[in-house]
Chain A
Amino acid sequence: MTLRDPRHAWMRQLAAFAILLAVWEAASRAGLLNPLYVPSPGKVAAVLVDLFADGGIWPHLDATFTAALGGLALGIAVGVVLGVIAALVPFIAELLEPVMSVLNAIPRVVLAPLFVIWLGIGLASKIALSFILVAVLIFFTVFTGIRQVDRKLVERVITLGGDRWALVRHVYLPSVAAWVLGNLKIAVGFAFTGACVGEFVAATRGLGYLLSFAQSTFNAALMFALILLILVVVLLIFGIAGRLEKYLLRWN
């Protein structure tokens, strides 16, 4: 093992991160950083440990996860269905495409306050925001994807005696699955964005709600702890999504 071995890049990255933390901690202890704005790593870690030690974090994690995963699942389901229908029925595409294009063009988080008015400050408004973020992404993925399905594969299946259902099952569905999986990580990111922003706007529970609470109480240490927590959670799901993608797209 040498220091320059490209396979050990993660070791060098980890070392650099450790050094950064050490410098940060040292600077904090030397009084160079105002703890009101930038708390020391040790303080952030202590807050994080506290959150889990008294169990107070679980309802919030639960709320955010439910909203994000609920929005993700609904968004993918509706995005796929609408995308498939629009791709196969030109009349529907005429109606849907402009709406989706508008929704795609605006930053969809601006809808958050509207959802709060419509659906209240409970879980529903967060799922809705998460859903709209994911659904539009998946709709365009599937819609453009299906129209690009390889004609040759369609003809191949027909000449082998496949009927309409065989086409859907052996050509269209696998194509759609490939495009959706290719965008799964982005969709996961969108889903958590929707959940957190929704909670940020108005909620009684959730990581986004805790963040806005930390802001109103000027609690920088809690904020850092929460950002770190969200980072870890999303990276974890990215890892799972990546594995899933790699397994299901192993032919690629």
Chain B
Amino acid sequence: MIGLQQPLSGTVETELAPAQIGILFQDDALLPWKTARDNVALGLTFHGVERGKALAEAEAWLERLNLAGFGDRFPRHLSGGQRKRVALAQVLAMRPKLILMDEPFASLDAIVGARVVRDVVALVEREGISVLLVTHDLEEALSLSDEVYLLSQGPRAHITQHYQVPIPRPRDPVLSRTHPAFAPLYERLWADLSREVDHRVEAA
């Protein structure tokens, strides 16, 4: 969707310019030779923001993500959760309308992950950013999303199911798991996914 790979068939329709789409990868992929602040400012300077201003803005984003005082650190000297936050600040600083996330929280341990997720949800809800999240974690999918699409197993993955998640916003990603709508949806999603996987096992 962002243009790193060309679609094999079909087209991508969007009103958004590439600059309005941010990507959060599974790995944080920060430039190891740049400080946290320089990493966050990078995208801004690519789009013509003057360096001093970009750095100030980067600092503000770091503060918003609870990383005040870590701006001068190199990625190597940050923990996994901190690096994830820096990567997030890097994306958010671009003020995207849409963020694509590919299992961004998979590499974090449970508690750190939960905190980062909570902060991401809060920021995304406040800034009105859309998120397209790819995940293997059913609970993550349901607790964070408004809509869930189930993809068949690849290659040639395609959408097989679509679910609406009626949990109101603003959400707390942990508490929303106790919402009455959560359990039945989880059951359905799990059943459909199991069938999908069984299917494949039989075919093989």
Tell which of B33, B42, B94 touches A251, judged by Cβ atoms closer than 8 Å.
B33
Nearest residue, chain A, Cβ from B42: A160
Q: Does B76 contact A (CB under 8 A)?
A: yes
State which residues 119-167 of A face B: CB under 8 Å: 150, 152-153, 155-163, 166
Asked if B74 is an interface residue, CB under 8 A from chain A, the answer is yes
- Enumerate chain B residues within 8 angstroms of A161, measured Cβ to Cβ: 18-19, 43, 46-47, 94
Contact with B along A26-68 (1 / 0, CB 8 A): 0000000000000000000000000000000000000000000
Scoring B residues 21 to 45 as 1 if CB is less than 8 Å from chain A, else 0, what string do you get? 0110101011111110000001100
In this complex, how many residues of chain A approach chain B with their Cβ under 8 Å: the count is 20
Contact A178 B46 (CB under 8 A): no
Q: Are A160 and B90 closer than 8 Å at their CB atoms?
A: yes
B33: chain A residues within 8 A (beta carbon): 174, 178, 251
CB distance from B18 to the nearest CB of A (A): 7
* CB pair B29 A251 closer than 8 Å: no
Evaluate contact between A174 and B31: CB separation under 8 angstroms.
Answer: yes
* Chain A, range 174-225, C-beta contacts under 8 Å to B: 174, 178
Main secondary structure of the interface of A (DSSP, over half): helix
A246 within 8 A of B: no
Contact of A4 with B by CB under 8 A: no
Contacts of A2 in B (CB 8 A): none
Whether, in the assembled complex, B2 has its beta carbon less than 8 Å from a beta carbon of chain A, the answer is yes
A250 close to B4 (CB less than 8 A): no
Establish whether residues B4 and A252, one from each chain, have CB atoms under 8 Å apart when the complex forms.
Answer: no
CB nearest neighbor in A for B74: A251
Complex interface: chain B residues within 8 A of A170 (CB): 31, 34, 42
Cβ contact of B32, chosen from A158, A163, A166, A252, cutoff 8 A: A252
**Chain A residues with Cβ under 8 A from B90's Cβ?**
160
Q: Which residues of chain A come closer than 8 Å to B2, judged between CB atoms?
A: 159
A171 CB–B CB distance under 8 Å = yes
Please indicate the chain B residues that have their CB under 8 angstroms from the CB of A252 in the complex: 32, 76
Question: Hey, which chain A residues are within 8 Å of B75, CB to CB?
Answer: 251
Contact A156 B25 (CB under 8 A): yes
A171 close to B31 (CB less than 8 A) = yes
Residues on B facing A (Cβ under 8 Å): 2, 4, 18-19, 22-23, 25, 27, 29-35, 42-43, 46-47, 74-76, 90, 94
27 contacts between A and B (CB under 8 A): A152-B29, A153-B29, A155-B29, A156-B29, A156-B30, A156-B31, A158-B4, A159-B2, A159-B4, A160-B43, A160-B46, A160-B90, A161-B18, A161-B19, A161-B43, A161-B47, A162-B42, A162-B46, A163-B46, A170-B34, A170-B42, A171-B31, A178-B33, A250-B74, A251-B34, A252-B32, A252-B76
Q: What are the nearest 6 A-B pairs in CB distance?
A: A160-B43, A251-B74, A161-B46, A152-B29, A156-B29, A174-B33
A residues sitting closer than 8 Å to B (CB atoms) are: 150, 152-153, 155-163, 166, 170-171, 174, 178, 250-252
